[in-house]
Structure 1
Amino acid sequence: MAQLEVEGAVLAYDDEGPRDGQGPPLVFVHGWTANRHRWDHQSAHFSAERRVIRLDLRGHGDSTGAGVGAVDDLAQDVLTLLDHLKVDRCVLVGHSMGGMIAQTIALARPDLVDRLVLVDSISRMTYSRGRGLLMAASTLVPFKPFVAANIQRAFAPGYPREEVRKYIEASAATPKEVVMTDYGAMRAFDVLDRVGEIEAPTLIVHGFHDIQLPLKQMLRMAKAYPNAVVRIIDAGHELPVEKPAELTEALDRFLAPARG
């Protein structure tokens, strides 16, 4: 693990694999209350052949810092890290909130993004009845039950309860101020009317049972992309940990033409 001081925070990150590997570096961005280890399976697979970069967003995992008011601010942290690492072209992979960050970067810096991968993410936050009730309750219930309710419903039915509990505990360890502020940033996120500007080849991977960011919302986003392919996997919202091998395989297929 390495660290980089940015404005108001210290970011923890891993930079692995050969600098002269096959294709542009892979840059992985995790989601809300998660950390860079969501990508352990993908990092282990791809870092044998190409450079792999993954970070803990500010206030998450091993990174310090307070929450921010907009996804744009989180995107700026990622851009600062990539500039520090002298990355001028990459494959950007984002899960959930990380996908929102990835889209923000792709719109702001199209020169930087060779390919884009969105995992269980959307371009505009629109809430189901259940998510709306959770939002309304967020200011009324204690912090840990609020986090537990969100993480519990992120997994597909039948996922081992003990494993779910581990992720609930890890998410609840994220500072409350970071959790709630970033939650607000996601609520305000909306680039749906702009994603038609993203020309980079795009892979959209989504869990069939995702009720956090439902399939219908993702399909509305996918229709707006000019150069996207969609892969649906039998999982919930936490694809990187529910079906890591299937996600890696989808990435591998998508990246294969770039290997020449």
Structure 2
Amino acid sequence: MPALDEFSFLPAQSTDLGRDLPAVHRVDTTLADGRRLSGLRWGESAPVVTLLHGAGLNAHTWDTTLLHLGVPALVLDLPGHGDSSWRDDAAYVARVLTPDIVTALEQWTDAPQTLVGHSLGGLTAAAVAASRPDLVARLVIVDITPGVDPSAGPAQIRAFFAGPTDWTSREELVDRALAFGLGGSREAATRGVFLNSRVRADGRVEWKHHFAHLAAAAANAGEDPSTPDAVKAVLSETGWDDIAAVEAPVTLVRGTRGFVTEPDAEEFLRRVPGADVRELPTGHNVHEEDPGALAAILRDIIDRG
């Protein structure tokens, strides 16, 4: 049997959905400080949409959404996630991450993008759109606002990652995800774990993203593992000024069982009066729970220009 790689799951996913599978390949660049920034290019044409994932995820979290959407795309691994380098300062907040995303857009796109961001990626997308309006034609923020209540759900995810930093097998990680009620079906959880973990030289398995290691370090230091400082910074960062400064049309997509409550959405509209708010009957990971419906929203936004 050939060894699995990060693209091994795509043919079956595309067949199940009855969708064409475009060419998908990894792109990498070296940043000014020597860190690696990585991502995926979908399709042979220049991207029209760029997507940023949430904390603890990676570029492949958008795979099914992009199979439904069927347009050329750029999908980035945020710093500290996927194949992108970890930050020594563990500063995973929107305005700190923004220069890296700008570098990627300048290098890998040739026209203003529909910029889509989920959770941490949503706050980062807003900061990018505010600082570089020439790179962003439309902004779509998925299930996050700067005012989100940090007790509304993120604590479960933080606690999930606050376990050991390495494991004997990926199967152990799948079992842990399912025990926490994460990952959906076993098949989906297995795919997600494979794409979000790596096997070290010593044969042990670890999460690719830095957040798991930060949460574990906090737990080992006797701190509350559900609230490591880096995660609290992500959740408490004030981003309203960034969103208010965005010149492009703004859409907020809210999962009705997600982290953005109705009052949060009302506050969003008060601060960004011209924004469009869409709702889908999902939890926080809208793009994983109902990728077809989210893709339909994105298609409408792209087609409207």
Contact 1:199 1:227 in 2 (8 A): no
The alpha carbon displacement at 1:41 in A equals 2.3
Question: For residue 37 of structure 2, what is the aligned residue in structure 1?
Answer: 11
The answer on 1:104 being equivalent to 2:151 is: no
Return the match for 1:56 from 53, 71, 77: 77
CA root-mean-square deviation: 3.4
SS at match of 2:61: helix
SS at match of 1:144: coil
Counterparts of 2:110 and 2:93, CA distance in 1: 24
The alpha carbon displacement at 1:119 in A equals 0.8
Q: Which one-letter code corresponds to 1:59 in the other structure?
A: G
Of stretches 164-173 and 236-245 in structure 1, the one that deviates more from structure 2 is: 164-173
Q: Which one-letter code corresponds to 1:60 in the other structure?
A: H
Contact 2:127 2:243 in 1 (8 A): no
5 Å-filtered alignment, 1:138-177, equals: 143-144=162-163, 152=180, 160=185, 163=188, 170=196, 173=207, 174-175=209-210, 176-177=212-213
Contact 1:90 1:113 in 2 (8 A): yes
Q: Deviations over 1:5-61 (max 9, x none)?
A: 1134212212233536xxx7201000100000111123234454xx31111112211
The alpha carbon displacement at 1:221 in A equals 1.5
SS at match of 1:115: strand
The answer on 1:233 being equivalent to 2:280 is: yes
The alpha carbon displacement at 1:4 in A equals 0.9
Contact 2:54 2:121 in 1 (8 A): yes
5 Å-filtered alignment, 1:31-42, equals: 31-42=54-65
The alpha carbon displacement at 1:199 in A equals 2.9
Gaps of 5+ in 2: 1-25, 165-172, 198-205, 216-227
Question: For residue 142 of structure 2, what is the aligned residue in structure 1?
Answer: 119
- Structure 1 residues 125, 232: CA separation in 2 closer, same or farther (over 3 Å shift)? closer
Q: How high is the TM-score relative to the length of structure 1?
A: 0.78
Q: Which one-letter code corresponds to 2:73 in the other structure?
A: V
Counterparts of 1:39 and 1:142, CA distance in 2: 21
Question: For residue 106 of structure 2, what is the aligned residue in structure 1?
Answer: 83
Question: For residue 73 of structure 1, what is the aligned residue in structure 2?
Answer: 96
The alpha carbon displacement at 1:68 in A equals 2.0
The answer on 1:192 being equivalent to 2:209 is: no
The answer on 1:183 being equivalent to 2:231 is: yes
Q: Taking every aligned residue pair, what percent have the same amino acid on both sides?
A: 27
Contact 1:29 1:36 in 2 (8 A): yes
Q: Deviations over 1:130-164 (max 9, x none)?
A: 65x779x96xx98228x979x95788xxx547746
Question: For residue 250 of structure 2, what is the aligned residue in structure 1?
Answer: 202
Q: Deviations over 1:49-79 (max 9, x none)?
A: xx31111112211222223253212111111
The alpha carbon displacement at 1:238 in A equals 0.6
Counterparts of 2:74 and 2:66, CA distance in 1: 8
Counterparts of 2:249 and 2:140, CA distance in 1: 9
Gaps of 5+ in 1: none
Contact 2:93 2:124 in 1 (8 A): no
Contact 1:75 1:105 in 2 (8 A): yes
Contact 1:198 1:226 in 2 (8 A): no
Contact 2:48 2:73 in 1 (8 A): yes
Contact 2:126 2:242 in 1 (8 A): no
Counterparts of 2:298 and 2:237, CA distance in 1: 25
Question: For residue 244 of structure 1, what is the aligned residue in structure 2?
Answer: 291
Counterparts of 1:194 and 1:177, CA distance in 2: 29
Counterparts of 1:128 and 1:83, CA distance in 2: 37
